[in-house]
Amino acid sequence: MITYLARRILWIIPVLFAVSIITFVLMHAVPGGPWDAEKRLPAGVQARLNAEYGLDKPLYEQYIQWAGAFVTGDLGPSYRSRDRRVNDIVADGIATTVQLGVMAFTLSVVVGIPLGIFAALGHNRWPDYLSTSVSIIGIATPSFVLAILLVVLFAVELGWFPTGGWKGPQYWVLPTVALAGFPIAVIARYTRASMLEVTRKDYIRTAQSKGLGNTSVVSRHMIRNALIPVVTILGPTLAFLVTGSFIIETIFSVPGIGRFYISAISTRDYSLLMAMTMLYAFAIAFLNVVVDVLYAYIDPRIRYS
């Protein structure tokens, strides 16, 4: 168990390494440079800036310089504000982004799993139809469409929530719901399918043959077994939340790091791009490890083998 955990965590390092190389290469394959967005600078000024940021060196040297700084925790100089480091920019926004992600994840699980259980227990009756309808809406509506609809309906028309910003709990609602819409649907469907499969298992028949009441059978025997496979989709769900958050942050003007995404690419902000990619990749890899370990832990067949 411990060796498995250690091995998975250590494996993240080479993966991140490879990701950094690919990103670095791609980033520099994008034509243009960080100074293009500003007014046309005289060639001399540009050359001096390039030298200052080390952009005149060959690519592999730049990479080594970046990597060297990265492993000491230095995310590099910011290209947008001359006197700040990327560390500061990230520090400003990371808490918000993480908070949004955690809230959306919690909402997805807290709504999605019971919805799926509910649907399976009321198979082919109204709970099933209700839950399936909600799931259909969830998978049919891209997050940006859901965001637009939520803003129009609840913020503009009804005025219950603000349209953007992050100044208090009421600002959290719409972005979280918009981000969680799709995962709720996926988790609900998966849970329902898993429950229905468990219903057909022999050990449920054994539980019934013991004369156990319906609630005991369902809670002790069905749900426990049905939730184990559901854990496997939590990994991709988390990846979705990580990579999809930047759109929601952009639409709702949430002051996280996600909203810098698009602009970082268009302004060729190399250090910010590298930092964000590494952060996202680390989050995805790490969360996947957590999910895999969790899965191995809650299934006794794996835990004790």
Partner 1 sequence: MATPTAVAGRIARPRATGLWRDAWGRLRKNRLAVVGLFLVIALVFVGVFGPWLAPYPYSQQDLAAVFAAGGGPLPPLSPGHVLGTDQLGRDLLSRLLDGARISVSVAFVVQIVILGIGVPIGAIAGWFGGRLDNALMRFTDIIYAFPDLLFIILMSVAFRETVFGQALDGLLLVFVAIGLTSWVTVARLVRGQMLSLKETEFVEAARAIGVADRRIVTRHLLPNGIGPIIVAVTLGIPAAILAEATLAYIGIGVQPPRASWGSLIAEGQKFIRSEPHLVVFPAIAIALALVGFTFLGDGLRDALDPKLKGKQ
Partner 2 sequence: MSTVDDTMTDPASPTIIEVSPEDARKVQVEANPKPPVDPRTEKLLKVTGLSTHFFTPDGVVQAVDDVSFDLAYGETLGLVGESGCGKSVTALSVARLVPNPPGRIVAGDIIFDGIDVLKLDQDEMRHLRGKEIGFIFQDPLTSLNPTLTIGYQIAESIRQHMGLSKTAARDRVAELLGKVGIPRAKDRLNDYPHQFSGGMRQRVMIAIALSCDPKLILADEPTTALDVTIQAQILELIQRLSDEFHTAVLMITHDLGIAAGMCDRVNVMYAGRIVETGTVDELFEKPRMPYSWGLLDSLPRLDDIRGDRLRTIEGLPPFLVNPPDACRFEPRCRFARDVCRQDEPDLTLRGQTLHAARCWATQPDGWIP
Task: Note whether 301 binds partner 2 by CB under 8 A.
Answer: yes
HSE-up of residue 108 (Cα within 13 Å, Cβ side) = 31
Considering only residues 215 to 244 of the shown chain, the ones binding partner 2 according to CB under 8 A are: 216, 220-221, 224-225, 228
Judged by DSSP in three states, 85 sits in strand
Q: With binding defined as CB under 8 A, does residue 241 bind partner 1?
A: no
- Member of 42, 158, 202, 215 binding partner 2 (CB under 8 A): 202
Q: How far apart are the first and last CA of the chain?
A: 10
Binding range to partner 1, per CB under 8 A, among 36-44, 64-72, 206-214, 283-291? 283-291
- Residue 77 pairs in a beta bridge with 85
| Of 81 and 206, CB closest to partner 2 | 206
In angstroms, give the least distance from the CB of 169 to partner 1: 26
Question: From CA 259, how far away is CA 166, in angstroms rounded?
Answer: 13
Instruction: Supply the minimum distance, in Å, between the C-beta of residue 149 and partner 1.
Output: 8
Residues 12-71 that bind partner 1 (CB under 8 A): 12, 14-16, 18-19, 22-23, 26-27, 29-31
Name the residue nearer to partner 2 (CB basis): 180 or 207. Answer: 207
Nearer to partner 2, 81 or 208 (CB): 208
Q: Is residue 128 close enough to count as binding partner 2 by CB under 8 A?
A: no
Is-contact 80 87, C-beta < 8 A?
Answer: no
Verify binding: residue 257, partner 1, rule CB under 8 A.
no
Binding of partner 1 by 173 (CB under 8 A): no
User: Applying CB under 8 A, does 206 fall inside the site for partner 2?
Assistant: yes
Smallest separation (angstroms) from partner 2 to the CB of 305:
7
Q: Which two tokens stand for residue 298?
A: 């809650």
Q: Rounded to an integer, what distance in angstroms lies between the CA atom of residue 86 and that of residue 272?
A: 6
